[in-house]
Structures are given as structure tokens and as C-alpha cells.
Amino acid sequence: MLSDCLLEIEDATISNGKEEILSRVSLRLHEAEFCYLIGKTGSGKTSFIRTLYAENKLLSGHASVLGHDLMNLKRKEIPDLRRKLGMIFQSFQLFQEWSVARNLAYVLSVTGWKDTAEMEARIKDVLSQVGLLDKMNEHVFYLSGGEKQRVAIARALLNKPQIILADEPTGNLDAETSDDILFLLRDVAMSNGTTIILATHDQRVLEKFPARMLMFKDGQVRED
């Protein structure tokens, strides 16, 4: 694998957790790439993302994510892989009754951080990156949808991931807020050298923020 090749897949067969949904998938992604996954609901975009973070088992072929061989990945190795990935979801997946800071501190604690001062500094750092430092002590329940997604992005940045996986991150947001989130993600990719893999069905986003596109259709993945 090339030194800047973070993701390498060759002739892979991917399932939705129950049955084959994608076959003969081959692609490479490099450092700081921004890549869209496009296709109808049920075309395999989410299954593909879940395979990358080892939620779904690779059925056949070869897939290497940040040096981890998914075909031969042991269960005890999965946490190490996931610490290198940032994940953003359409539904935010935040603890609504907790403060922003507590949501982020929880992720740091379960990924091995111990020093309270270092944790607080990291939380302030990522909240500054997403423009929410002033919301640090607010309860998530009272935030707008766009602010909640910014918290989700901050959470994804905590462990300085080399790849961020985003599954329909603007699906519940209005057009203006969606644009703000896409500007933010593109800035993250450029400033941190992070590769962004973003699943979407929003044609407006694709036209306004053009980037590499992978089309999911009829059980295949191809460059669009």
C-alpha cells in the first residue's frame, strides 16, 4: 500500500449484515481526499461505511483501512481501528440530556484518555474548530440541528482521525445549514489532511461542492 493510500479495496464483496449487497468493489483513497458516495436508498452506501469501521464483516476480497486488514481483523483489534476513524451520522447520536462538553469527554474516556486537563484542552480545541466553544456547557437538547451536527463533527475530530466517515450528515438539515456543514467538512479535510468519505443523496450538495464521486448502483460501485 502506498504511503499516502489510506484505504485500499480490491475485488471486495460487501454485505448489509445479512446478505451480499455489493460485489467486485475496488478503489483507493489517499490523504486529504474528499469523496462522495452517491446512490439511491438501499444501494449499499451505509453497508459500505459499516464495513469500513468493521460493523459488517467483509465477505471476500481485500480491504485495508489505515493498515488494518478487514478480512483478517480480530475482534480485539476493532477498537484500535475505530479510534483512527471519525464517524458522523444523520441522527447525530448525541446524549441529548448531557452538556456538549460531557458528550465529548465521554468519547475521550472510552478511547483511553485519562488526564483531565488534557481532555479539557482537547475538547476546547475541537469546539473552537467547529465554532462552538461558547456552547461548551450547554445541554445538547437546546441546540439547533446545525449546532448538533457541529458537535458531532467535533466528536469525530477528538482523536485526530485520518479518515472521517459521514453517513448522510446533512439529511436532517435545511439548505443553508447543510452548506455550513459542508464548508466546515471541506475545511477540516484541507487543514488537517483528513480524508472525508461522505454518503449523500442530495444533488444540490453535489453540484455546489463538487468532489470525487462513487456511484452505488445495481450492486456495483463505479466512478461517476
pLDDT in tens, 49-73: 999 999 999 999 999 999 999 999 9
Confidence of residue 3 (pLDDT cuts 50, 70, 90): low
Greatest Cα-to-Cα distance within the chain, rounded to the nearest angstrom: 51
User: Phi/psi at 202 (nearest 5 deg)?
Assistant: -85, 105
Give the torsion through C-alpha atoms of 21, 46, 173, 100, to 10 deg: 160
In the sheet that 195-200 helps form, which strands lie side by side, from edge to edge? 85-89, 163-167, 195-200, 34-38, 212-217, 220-223
114, 122, 192, 193: which is closest to 155 by C-alpha?
122
Cβ atoms of 34 and 211 closer than 8 Å:
yes
Q: Distance (Å, rounded) from C-alpha 90 to C-alpha 171?
A: 6
At position 88, the amino acid (one-letter code) is: I
- Closest among 82, 42, 44, 34 to 187, alpha carbons compared: 34
CA angle 126, 203, 183 (to 5 degrees): 25
**What confidence tier does 159 reach under pLDDT thresholds 50, 70, 90?**
very high
Rounded average pLDDT over 146-160 = 95
Cross-strand pairs, 9: 27, 63
∠197-199-204 over CA atoms, to 5°? Answer: 115
CATH 1.10.1510 assigned to 90-160: no
Q: What pTM value is reported for the model?
A: 0.92
Give the CA distances from residue 151 to residues 32, 67, 89, in Å, rounded to whole numbers and listed in that order. Answer: 21, 28, 11
Q: CATH 1.10.8 residue ranges in the chain?
A: 90-160
Residue 146 has pLDDT above 80, yes or no: yes
Residue 147 above 70 pLDDT? yes
Q: Is 135 helix (H, G, I), strand (E, B) or coil?
A: helix
CATH 3.40.50.300-classified regions of the chain: 1-84+161-224
CATH T-level fold of 1-84+161-224: Rossmann fold (3.40.50)
What is the reported pLDDT for 189? 85
CA–CA separation, 46 vs 37, rounded Å? 9
